[in-house]
Structure 1
Amino acid sequence: MIRQCLLPLALPLLMATSAGVHAQYASPAVQPPQDVAYPGTIRLEVDATNLNQRIFKVRETIPATPGELTLLYPMWIPGGHTPRGSLDKLAGITFKANGQTLAWKRDPLNVAAFHITVPEGATEVVVEFDFLTATGPGQGRVVMTPNMLNLQFISTALYPAGHYMSRIMFDTRVTYPAGWTAFTALHEEGRSGNTVNYEDVPFDILADSPVYAGRYARQIDLTPTGSARPVRLGVVADAAKYLEAKPAQVDIHRAMVAQAFKLFGAQHFDHYQFLFSLSDQMGGNGLEHQRSSENGMGTGYFTDWKEKVGFSDLLAHEFTHSWNGKYRRPADLWTPNFNVPMQDSLLWVYEGQTQYWGNVLAARSGMRPLPASIDALALVAATYAENRPGLSWRNVQDTTNDPIIASRAPLAYRNYQMSEDYYSGGQMIWLEADALIRAGSGGKKSLDDFARAFFGVNDGEWKVQNTYTFDDVVATLNAVYPHDWKSFLRERLDGRVGLTGGIEAAGWRLVFKDTPSAYAKGSASPRWGGADFVYSLGLMIGKDGAISDVRWDSPAFNVGLGSGASVIAVNGQAYSQDVLEDAVKAAKGTTAPIELLVKEFDRYRTVRIDYHDGLRYPHLERIEGRPDYLTPILTARK
């Protein structure tokens, strides 16, 4: 009764207080981007020499006129598909004009916007700040070490609101540690000591042209000398010995580039610079750009190479993005600046078909031998045959929202939650499309024809983005081979049809054997040292016995095991991979359960798994009597 009496009296006061609060914190609106040139050229100076404290020191000189000025920090990062800009790493920011420090105000609704008032008589504003890079992986990706750095200009620049990023010019200069070599798609205009002056470019091109620099570096030509549009591999490493690549290894990378040119039939760059780090200190990554790509692997990429396993498909994947994703970009992923939200509905083309071509190019070039390529595909097929129970409630199309929903954070039950399945799920869809075209055309047409027609247009053009829609994809497929492509795609994307049909359509079948494939064994990371019981018990277990994943509704899950627990003992014997494998083998065809002692936080308990089907690992085998389309798909083009 008291609450009922007080409420009418309190409500006007609450409303008045709320209105006052909103008035108090109201700020100037952020101007929407317009296709209008920003007057003058912004000078961006980055000091990248503070390796010990891992700090980029930034100074910007921005032409300005008296009045209100809003500067934005980029948040929607191309290739990230999510607002993951590193705004939290800016510190010590100051704005000055006419030698005086200016007051600034952060927009309370758009926290990446900074509002300042340019005083009378001022012709420019000087902005200074420190970009505090991660000093450990818990703070984000490490981008500075004693021997290398990764400078992303999109993270070290503010830009004026109210203009397309393509209409804002930047004059950029970077000071590197003495004696270091820097790789970037930007052309140099001059040097002064350790400071490099790069060509003036619009902000969209600057942001798309990051730098890898290092103490130990090597540039490798991947196209013949004198090529009109050369492709180069710029490698930085933790030590000089990791740069040593055998001539045969270099030839494989050259073959990958040549096979990409044969596939697409056009090039959308004036030159292309692979940025490649071989490091156990700087964080690994893979990020596409129009004229370059950021690629990070461990130190043993060349030195620990296994011929039968081959190389990763990372470089082939990111190179494919120059055509698919950068030059030809989904219409809802194109934005006029880096603070307008992107939409990810077509990532199953942008990333899914790139995943497909990355694996195909790895096979065609020999980066991954044919048997290893088939074994690698078996792992993907098994995922969508048995290890995505999340497809019971969620479809591939919905996972295109995952970059925004989850921001690639670790998941407790990825197989059930699903996460960015437009990559490998998309790969399965495009494999089936390729097999369908080949079968229906009697081998006269293939998805290669789609790639050339869709991505290989306007040879040499790169300073514009050629956007596309779902209907554009369907129309080009129909021009290659008439079919009800709209229904084909929607049924698979929206979850009404399984994703493994391309395996049998290509003349192969998924089977399970009691030993892993040579590729699965050879490509396992020795640092992880984990054990794969996904298709038997339903567990993935790390070297230390920690359970990293439990397949939903698997034998392990159904006795109450969850990710995060640790296996201590198996049938009374201390856990090791061999001990658990022997226990699974021994239980085959019997009725005795497998007994695990597990630790969860500070508690121990025993669980008994009633599983008797033995070890199971995915393989592909030929279907007798059916045409083999998979081998031609993975075979080099002449």
Structure 2
Amino acid sequence: MARRPTASTPPPPAPVRHEVRVASLAGHRFGVRIVIARPVATQRVSLPAWIPGSYLIREFARHLQPLHATQGAAELPCRQIDKATWDIDCDPRRALTLNYEVYAFDASVRTAWLGDARGFFNGTSLLLRVHGQEDEAHELTVRAPAGRRDWRLATSMTPVTVDARGFGRYRADGYDELVDHPVEMGAFWQGDFRVAGVPHRLVVSGAPASFDGARLLRDTQQVCEAAVRFWHGGGKPPFKRYVFLLNVIDDGYGGLEHRASTALICGRRDLPRHDSPASAARVGDGYITLLGLISHEYFHAWNVKRLRPAEFTRYDYQSENHTRLLWFFEGFTSYYDDLLLRRAGLLDDAGYLKLLTKTVNQVLQAPGRQVQSVAQASFDAWLRYYRPDENTPNSTISYYTKGALVALCFDLTLRQEGRTTLDEVMRALWQRCQGGPMTEDDFAHTLAEVAGRRFDREIADWVHGTGELPLKALLQAQGVQVLEEPSQLAQTLGLRVAEGDGLVTLKMVLDGSAAAQAGLAAGDEWLGVEVPATPRTKNADATEVSAWRLTKLDDLPLYAGMARQVTALVARDRRLLRLPLALPEKSTTWRLAAREHADASAWPAR
């Protein structure tokens, strides 16, 4: 969070000093300069291949433009070792200076962006790692762009000497911290509040004139207060400041957690407007989704940034860092993000159960839940989660959604047994691991200590197994009605489709479904349907059919009538096929609702 320089004497220059400037707004390029005060004779530097929190090798070095090294007036050769690593032979008695540019044209929360309206970067995309000096103090100086006097800078990094707009010199204790504070620049809206005495800032870029900033600020504060109460009761959070960096675009969604900040993206229609209803639950699903995203990423400041997998004790920035615990760090966070909205008073029970219904159905409608455990899905995140394809729902399960339901099952089981809750387990785990690295054994032992019994069977079945979770019984025991309602036609058939320009294109076909049994495949264009004609007289030809052009999937019942067997007419690689399709009986999805006279002060309100 930027602030004016204080009267205290600034610390001496750090051994590794980074400087970032705008090289070209039109060319979307940042300029970077690094001064290494005490290099070694062969100094190795590298740019990360991924960013913590987003488990995919992204090859950030592909955007780095020629690296130049100098000592005084002498230019030194940079010897490239691999796709993202360079060695520079130099005089260790003299400072080594590196200069390069980085192309920044990715509007996601993971990398870097530079354009006429704003600039944004994560350190993993811009700042080379100086091998052997990762634990030395680092500095980052960000220069104000010429001709942009309305631009300001926001970051959660510790300021040393910065101007009134936030540009200037910042300091980090090491490289891990340096790259864990994203930077936003532009003519953004901002607002401030405090939680347990700790300053928080909300920065919003790209909002329209109708944006109700006061509303979002107030609701965000309520979310943060609920999270801090959850972890610390009346204590303070484990950071000195926190910054939300929200980029608003026409349509989008996403977030990435950091130790004292988060980078977020939402659609403009998801923002609260000055004419919005007073109740958050009545504003609309988009705004509730945004508040859930804010809740999710803020909860991560504890659960994954501090309490984290033992495999993340020290990041390897050049290759995959596998863990089988994302079901806990992403799944449990996904459970609590919506639950904290309920506890903050931003949702009522009906609104919360609507969100939970969506999560339950996402899992129940994925055949992959019976193929892959959430522990294996966690390990495979680098291979599968960020590379979905037409077979994804058949072969894998989301550690976000099923992980959230695993958390729900633990919580409701503990509440039913009457000795404790998952809240108490999470707080005890924080104390056991001192807010640091943890293993699955830490979770199992803490669960046993707090609950008074071991949960080995539940962990084996729910985390490492592929059987169904005991959701219905646990929910009903908490006074929740589990209602079954007709599914949409695509789900009944076992399809995911895209519609447009009069075409129905199959995107996914679920294993075991009527569509799969008919031989339909992803990529097919479903052109029409043949339906046996209903005989008009006793002697009429029963083999007569009527053929219909299909432009919307939901028109299928209109044409099929009472027929239970039709023929799908599809185009596949320009071939026309006739595939017999047995129309199934209606399938059902879940809808969760609170029973009348249920205890409103119990779960999920507390």
1:586 is displaced (CA, Å) by 7.4
Check if 1:90 corresponds to 2:64. yes
2:254 and 2:293 in contact (8 A); partners too? no
Check if 1:557 corresponds to 2:535. no
Pick from 416, 422, 425 the counterpart of residue 447 of structure 1.
Answer: 422
Q: Deviation string for 1:538-562 (max 9, x for gaps)?
A: 1122242333322122111222222
1:228 is displaced (CA, Å) by 2.3
Aligned ranges 1:181-220 → 2 under 5 Å: 181-191=152-162, 196-202=167-173, 203-215=175-187, 217-220=188-191
1:585 and 1:615 in contact (8 A); partners too? no
Aligned ranges 1:142-221 → 2 under 5 Å: 143-163=113-133, 165-176=134-145, 177-191=148-162, 196-202=167-173, 203-215=175-187, 217-221=188-192
Q: Deviation string for 1:417-441 (max 9, x for gaps)?
A: 215x221111111100000100101
Structure 2 unmatched ranges of 5 or more:
1-12, 277-281, 531-546
Distance 1:380 1:127, change over 3 A: same
Look up the equivalent residue of 1:439 and give its one-letter code: Q
Look up the equivalent residue of 1:539 and give its one-letter code: L
Aligned ranges 1:49-448 → 2 under 5 Å: 50-65=24-39, 67-108=41-82, 111-119=83-91, 123-134=94-105, 143-163=113-133, 165-176=134-145, 177-191=148-162, 196-202=167-173, 203-215=175-187, 217-223=188-194, 228-237=197-206, 239-241=207-209, 243-245=211-213, 247=215, 249-265=216-232, 266=235, 267-280=237-250, 284-303=253-272, 307=283, 309=285, 310-312=287-289, 313-335=292-314, 338-339=317-318, 342-385=321-364, 387-406=365-384, 408-418=386-396, 421-441=398-418, 445-448=420-423
Distance 1:628 1:428, change over 3 A: farther
1:535 is displaced (CA, Å) by 2.7
Report the secondary structure of 1:327's partner residue. coil
Q: Deviation string for 1:430-454 (max 9, x for gaps)?
A: 100000100101xx52111122222
1:623 is displaced (CA, Å) by 7.8
CA distance in structure 2 between the aligned counterparts of 1:222 and 1:317, rounded to whole angstroms:
19
CA distance in structure 1 between the aligned counterparts of 2:389 and 2:598, rounded to whole angstroms:
38
CA distance in structure 1 between the aligned counterparts of 2:303 and 2:602, rounded to whole angstroms:
22
1:411 is displaced (CA, Å) by 1.2
Report the secondary structure of 1:81's partner residue. coil
Look up the equivalent residue of 1:59 and give its one-letter code: R
Aligned to 2:554: 581
Aligned ranges 1:470-549 → 2 under 5 Å: 470-495=440-465, 497-499=467-469, 501-507=470-476, 508=480, 510-514=482-486, 533-544=489-500, 545-549=504-508
Distance 1:362 1:565, change over 3 A: farther
1:260 is displaced (CA, Å) by 0.9
1:581 is displaced (CA, Å) by 2.6
CA distance in structure 1 between the aligned counterparts of 2:481 and 2:154, rounded to whole angstroms:
44
Look up the equivalent residue of 2:87 and give its one-letter code: H
2:152 and 2:167 in contact (8 A); partners too? no
1:509 is displaced (CA, Å) by 5.8
2:153 and 2:166 in contact (8 A); partners too? no
1:323 and 1:456 in contact (8 A); partners too? no
Aligned to 2:541: none
Distance 1:142 1:410, change over 3 A: farther
TM-score (norm 2): 0.83
Look up the equivalent residue of 1:498 and give its one-letter code: E
Distance 1:591 1:66, change over 3 A: closer
TM-score (norm 1): 0.79
CA distance in structure 2 between the aligned counterparts of 1:192 and 1:231, rounded to whole angstroms:
19
CA distance in structure 1 between the aligned counterparts of 2:333 and 2:225, rounded to whole angstroms:
17
CA distance in structure 1 between the aligned counterparts of 2:585 and 2:209, rounded to whole angstroms:
47
1:287 is displaced (CA, Å) by 0.7
Look up the equivalent residue of 2:441 and give its one-letter code: D
1:52 is displaced (CA, Å) by 2.0
Report the secondary structure of 1:223's partner residue. strand
CA distance in structure 2 between the aligned counterparts of 1:585 and 1:614, rounded to whole angstroms:
15
CA distance in structure 2 between the aligned counterparts of 1:328 and 1:123, rounded to whole angstroms:
40
2:112 and 2:122 in contact (8 A); partners too? no
CA distance in structure 2 between the aligned counterparts of 1:586 and 1:73, rounded to whole angstroms:
58
Distance 1:564 1:356, change over 3 A: same
Q: Which moved more, 1:249-258 or 1:309-318?
A: 249-258
Distance 1:492 1:66, change over 3 A: closer
Report the secondary structure of 1:563's partner residue. coil
Aligned to 2:279: none
CA distance in structure 1 between the aligned counterparts of 2:308 and 2:376, rounded to whole angstroms:
19
Report the secondary structure of 2:198's partner residue. coil
CA distance in structure 2 between the aligned counterparts of 1:271 and 1:157, rounded to whole angstroms:
23
Report the secondary structure of 2:135's partner residue. helix
Distance 1:178 1:246, change over 3 A: closer
Look up the equivalent residue of 1:553 and give its one-letter code: G
Look up the equivalent residue of 1:556 and give its one-letter code: A
Look up the equivalent residue of 1:301 and give its one-letter code: D
Structure 1 unmatched ranges of 5 or more:
1-38, 459-463, 516-531
**Aligned residues with identical type, % of pairs:** 21
Report the secondary structure of 1:354's partner residue. helix
1:244 and 1:303 in contact (8 A); partners too? yes
Aligned to 2:543: none
1:186 and 1:198 in contact (8 A); partners too? no
What is the aligned residue count?
555
CA distance in structure 1 between the aligned counterparts of 2:489 and 2:152, rounded to whole angstroms:
45
CA distance in structure 1 between the aligned counterparts of 2:22 and 2:579, rounded to whole angstroms:
54
Distance 1:567 1:509, change over 3 A: farther
2:29 and 2:104 in contact (8 A); partners too? yes
2:506 and 2:523 in contact (8 A); partners too? yes
Q: Which moved more, 1:191-200 or 1:426-435?
A: 191-200
Look up the equivalent residue of 2:407 and give its one-letter code: W
Q: Which moved more, 1:301-310 or 1:70-79?
A: 301-310
1:71 and 1:115 in contact (8 A); partners too? yes
1:60 and 1:126 in contact (8 A); partners too? yes
CA distance in structure 2 between the aligned counterparts of 1:107 and 1:558, rounded to whole angstroms:
52
Q: Which moved more, 1:393-402 or 1:143-152?
A: 143-152
1:511 is displaced (CA, Å) by 4.2
Q: Deviation string for 1:183-230 (max 9, x for gaps)?
A: 211243334698811322122212110012233x22223436xx5212
